[in-house]
Amino acid sequence: MRIKLNILFIFSCIFSFAQDNQKSSYLELDYFYGNIIEHAPELKPIIQSHPSGLILSWNKKRLNNTKFDNTYNFPDFGFSVSYHDFKTEILGEVYSAYAHYNFYLTNRNSVNQIKLTSAFGLGYATSPFDKQTNSKNWALGSKFMASAYLKLNYQREYLLDKIGVNAGVALIHYSNTSFKAPNLGINTLALSIGANYNLDSKITAPERIKGTVSEKNPIQYYVLLRGGFNESLVNGSGVFPFYTLSFFADKKLNYKSRVSIGTDIFFSHFMKDYIEFNNLVEETPNDTADWKRVGLYIGHELNFEQFSLLTQVGYHVYAPYKYVSGIYERFGFRKRFNNHLFADLSLKINLFRAEGLEFGVGYRF
């Protein structure tokens, strides 16, 4: 317990040290308590506890009258750290660090605020899967993993001088993106309560100009090569490279949004061994050895000034050997360097199971 408090104290000191140089910022501390969502039968024996923890964040207010700030109702940007105790020896504890945005759903100058926090980062698990010592932990397959959380909070600032209160609900996710099996991942749905402390005097946000102007833009065409490493559902089967070649078209609707339609050609080398393994253990082996897949998808790209957020849903229209699900999803980030070159970082998911973390480079014609 002393180690946990010391870590949180160090981060508090770092943030406090930055107070003189950071105007329009505040600290927030939330305590959460909740339940683990059972998204796979294998998890049931190890998720009977009620996890709890702390989230400490530093938040920089964006109160500039720029197009981005005005469009998103003057959001906050910040960093957060968390401590997550699953209350079981099998799952252990997870320490995480994130970058996040706070999006306000109410008038920015209102006394009572409703905000949505979206955070992405990395976690460190103290009790990951180990074949000899922790063979029941099918949720956390490695010490390091990707993590994300969504938090919907009521917030009241300056309730007592610079101190305020906050309360809400949070969804916290951990996954090693199938870089190492097993990897069922784990999701906690929790209630939270806490306090906030402003590092500056109260500042009024500029008046927001509402409405999104539609734009007339031509359809644009792209090619994209993604790649990475992953492991199949079979524990200990080994890590293999994968490549995905994508062709797609998109249309920019306005400052915030683009919609797209495209096709993915998947070359996942782990599928070769996965097919061979299953043919050995199944009573009725599949007679195909074709490990390639083709998918069609529709997508949306949400602009966040320096980067954009990708959301895609697709279906494997060609998959001689079925792997988990015909439906797949992709969530990620895109950075456009100029009018032609861009880079992607995304996670491909088959329903609730991650298949791989993808790194991609693309070109717009």
Question: Which CATH number is 150's domain given?
Answer: 2.40.160.20
**32 and 142 part of one domain:** yes
Question: Do the strands 144-160 and 163-175 form a parallel or antiparallel pair, or are they unpaired?
Answer: antiparallel
pLDDT of residue 350: 87
Q: Report yes or no on whether pTM surpasses 0.75.
A: yes
Q: What is the pLDDT of residue 14?
A: 43
Measure the CA dihedral 234/235/239/244, to 10°: 40
Distance of alpha carbon 285 from its chain centroid, rounded?
37
> To the nearest 10°, the Cα dihedral for 196, 25, 103, 85?
-50
**Residue 214 belongs to some domain of the structure:** no
Q: Do 183 and 40 belong to one domain?
A: yes
What does pLDDT average to in each consecutive run of 10 residues of the chain (365 residues)?
A: 45 43 81 90 82 97 87 94 95 96 93 95 93 86 92 95 96 87 87 96 82 77 95 79 96 94 94 81 67 95 91 94 89 94 94 87 96
Q: Are 91 and 46 in contact (CB under 8 A)?
A: yes
Residue 207 resides in a domain: no
At residue 11, the pLDDT reads 44
Give the separation between CA 158 and CA 165, rounded to whole angstroms: 9
Residues 165 and 268 in one domain: no
Task: Clarify whether residues 29 and 155 are in a common domain.
Answer: yes
Q: SS3 of 183, please?
A: coil
Task: Say if residue 171 is in the same domain as residue 248.
Answer: no
The verdict on 185 and 249 lying in the same domain is no
Residue 30 domain flag? yes
pLDDT digits (tens, 9 = 90+) for 270-285: 888 888 887 776 655 6
Whether 81 is covered by a domain: the verdict is: yes
Q: Are residues 87 and 182 in the same domain?
A: yes
Contact of 181 with 237, CB cutoff 8 Å: yes
- Do both 75 and 165 map to the same domain? yes
The CA distance from 181 to 291, in Å, is 19
Same domain, 151 and 57: yes
Residues 8, 42, single domain; the answer is: yes
Number of domains making up the chain: 2
Domain match, 236 and 323 both: yes
Q: 358 and 235, same structural domain? A: yes
314-315-320 Cα angle (round to 5):
145
Q: What is the extent of the structural domain holding 123?
A: 2-198
